[in-house]
C-alpha cells in the first residue's frame, strides 16, 4: 500500500460545495482586491491566533520582509535567523537592507533556542526571526527575554498549540504565516498573513502591503504590492473552522508513529517545551537515513530530505555566512528525513511506514 508524503486532497473533499460557493460569491460580488472576504478573514484569523490584528499579504515570504520592515529593520541592521529552515526565512531579510546572521538550532526540537540565539547576538542585532519548524514551537518567551523583538516565522505552524493554549502568531512581537497549498492551512494558490497585537505595527504593515499608502494618493513609504487575494480569502474562510480538527489529525498521526514503535528505530521529533505541535512535516533522524529513504522509495512510501543543504551553505548566502560554523544544523541536514504526515494518516499507514523503516535499519 503506497503512503503519500502529504494528503491535502482528502480533507478538502467534503468541503468542495462550500468552496465552490465561496468562489462563486466573489465572482458575483466582483470585488477582487481587498474586498469583504479579506477583511472578514483577517478578523477571523486574528481571533484564531489570539492576536489583535491579522493582515493578509500575497505569500509567506513577502509577509516576512514586510514584518521586518514594519518595526524599522533596515540597512546596517542584523537579523538572527536559523539556517535549518526553508530558504525563504533568510531570503526575506536582504530586501530590507539588513543582513541575516545565521544561528544554530536545538538538536531535539530542531528550532532555535535562547542559547543558540544568544551566541549570534552582536551590537547590530535588530531582531530575531524564530522559525516554528515542522509545526514545532521555538521558545519565544525565553528569546524575547534576551531583550530583542521576536518575529515568529509560523509558516509551518498553523494549528499548533503552545504553553497555556497560546497559539503561534500571538507569542512574539509580530508573526508571519504562509497559506501555500501544502501548508496546514493551505489556500488554492499563494497567500500569507502577518499577525501582531501592536496597533502601530499593524498600521505600518497595512500601509507597506499597499505601496506604502493609505489612500493611493499619498505614498509615505516605499512599500510593496502584496495583498491576499479575495478569492483565496473566501476559500480560507471556509477552511479555517476545520483547522483545529486537521491539527488534531496531525497530532494523532504523530502518536500513531509512536505507538507503532517508530521511536525504537529512529529519533522522533520532540515537541518544544509546552507545545502540542500540529506536525506540518514529520521529520525523523538516523545516521543511516539514506538507507531508510531508499527502502521507503522501494515500497512506494513518500519521503523527502527537506533541508539537506542548509541555508547558510546555499550559493546565494555563502558570502554572508563566511566563517559561520553550525554543527547541529550540519548534523540535522545530513540525518533528517520527512516521512508521510497528514490530518488523515491513520494507524495502518503508520504501521506500514514503521515496518519499512525497521526492514531498512531495525
Ligand X SMILES: Cc1ncc(COP(=O)(O)O)c(C=O)c1O
Chain contacts with ligand X (rule: CB under 6 A): 59-61, 85-86, 88-89, 131, 153, 155-156, 178, 180, 190, 192
Beta carbon of residue 191, minimum distance to ligand X (angstroms, whole number): 7
| 156 versus 196: smaller Cβ distance to ligand X | 156
Beta carbon of residue 88, minimum distance to ligand X (angstroms, whole number): 4
β 174-178/192-196 pair status: antiparallel
- Alpha-carbon distance of 169 to 172, in angstroms, equals 7
Q: What does the H/E/C string look like for 11-73? A: HHHHHHHHHHHHHHHHHHHCCCECCHHHHHHHHHHHHHHCCCEEEEECCHHHHHHHHHHCCCC
| 338 versus 350: smaller Cβ distance to ligand X | 338
| 189 versus 274: smaller Cβ distance to ligand X | 189
| 113 versus 136: smaller Cβ distance to ligand X | 136
Beta carbon of residue 106, minimum distance to ligand X (angstroms, whole number): 16
For 229, the 3-state DSSP assignment is strand
Beta carbon of residue 346, minimum distance to ligand X (angstroms, whole number): 25
| 192 versus 262: smaller Cβ distance to ligand X | 192
CA distances from 352 to 2, 188, 259, 339, 358 (A): 9, 30, 13, 12, 10
Q: H helices of the chain, where? A: 9-12, 16-29, 36-49, 60-69, 88-91, 114-118, 140-144, 199-208, 230-239, 243-259, 289-298, 327-335, 347-361
Beta carbon of residue 63, minimum distance to ligand X (angstroms, whole number): 7
| 240 versus 361: smaller Cβ distance to ligand X | 240
Residue at shortest CB range from ligand X: 60
Helices (H) and strands (E) in the chain, counts: 13, 9
Beta carbon of residue 109, minimum distance to ligand X (angstroms, whole number): 14
Beta carbon of residue 339, minimum distance to ligand X (angstroms, whole number): 17
Beta carbon of residue 92, minimum distance to ligand X (angstroms, whole number): 7
| 111 versus 207: smaller Cβ distance to ligand X | 111
Question: Which of 255, 278, 249 shows the shortest CA–CA distance to 351?
Answer: 255
| Residue labelled with grid coordinates 544568544 | 118
| 192 versus 272: smaller Cβ distance to ligand X | 192
Beta carbon of residue 194, minimum distance to ligand X (angstroms, whole number): 12
**CB of 172 within 8 A of CB of 150?**
yes
Q: Could you give the angle at the alpha carbon of 34 between the alpha carbons of 32 and 40, nearest 5°?
A: 110
**CB of 135 within 8 A of CB of 159?**
yes
| 37 versus 85: smaller Cβ distance to ligand X | 85
Amino acid at each position: 500500500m503506497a503512503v503519500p508524503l502529504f494528503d491535502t486532497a482528502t480533507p478538502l473533499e467534503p468541503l468542495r460545495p462550500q468552496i465552490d460557493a465561496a468562489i462563486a460569491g466573489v465572482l458575483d460580488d466582483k470585488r477582487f482586491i481587498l474586498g469583504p472576504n479579506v477583511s472578514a478573514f483577517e478578523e477571523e484569523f486574528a481571533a484564531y491566533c489570539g492576536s489583535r490584528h491579522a493582515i493578509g499579504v500575497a505569500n509567506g515570504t513577502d509577509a516576512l520582509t514586510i514584518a521586518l520592515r514594519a518595526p524599522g529593520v533596515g540597512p546596517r541592521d542584523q537579523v538572527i535567523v536559523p539556517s535549518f529552515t526553508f530558504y525563504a526565512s533568510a531570503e526575506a531579510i536582504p530586501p530590507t537592507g539588513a543582513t541575516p546572521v545565521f544561528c544554530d538550532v536545538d538538536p531535539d526540537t530542531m528550532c532555535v533556542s535562547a542559547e543558540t540565539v544568544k551566541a549570534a547576538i552582536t551590537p547590530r542585532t535588530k531582531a530575531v526571526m524564530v522559525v516554528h519548524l515542522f509545526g514545532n514551537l521555538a521558545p519565544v518567551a525565553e528569546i524575547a527575554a534576551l531583550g530583542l523583538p521576536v518575529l515568529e516565522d509560523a509558516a509551518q505552524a498553523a494549528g499548533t498549540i503552545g504553553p497555556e493554549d497560546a497559539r503561534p502568531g500571538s507569542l512574539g512581537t509580530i508573526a508571519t504565516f504562509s497559506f501555500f497549498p501544502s501548508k496546514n492551512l493551505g489556500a488554492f494558490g499563494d497567500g500569507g498573513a502577518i499577525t501582531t497585537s501592536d496597533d502601530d505595527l499593524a498600521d505600518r504593515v497595512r500601509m507597506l502591503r499597499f505601496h506604502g499608502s493609505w489612500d493611493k494618493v499619498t505614498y509615505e513609504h516605499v512599500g510593496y504590492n502584496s495583498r491576499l487575494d479575495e478569492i483565496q480569502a473566501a476559500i480560507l474562510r471556509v477552511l479555517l473552522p476545520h483547522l483545529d480538527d486537521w491539527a488534531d489529525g496531525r497530532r494523532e498521526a504523530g502518536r500513531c508513529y509512536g505507538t507503532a514503535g517508530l521511536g525504537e528505530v529512529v529519533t522522533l521529533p520532540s515537541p518544544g517545551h509546552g507545545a502540542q505541535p500540529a506536525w506540518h512535516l514529520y521529520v525523523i533522524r538516523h545516521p543511516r537515513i539514506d538507507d531508510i529513504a531508499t527502502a521507503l522509495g522501494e515500497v512506494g512510501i513518500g519521503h523527502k530530505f527537506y533541508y539537506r543543504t542548509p541555508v547558510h551553505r546555499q550559493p546565494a548566502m555563502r558570502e554572508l555566512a563566511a566563517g559561520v560554523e553550525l554543527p547541529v544544523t550540519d548534523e540535522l541536514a545530513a540525518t533528517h528525513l520527512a516521512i508521510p504526515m497528514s490530518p488523515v494518516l491513520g494507524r495502518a499507514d503508520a504501521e506500514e511506514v514503521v515496518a519499512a523503516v525497521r526492514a531498512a535499519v531495525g
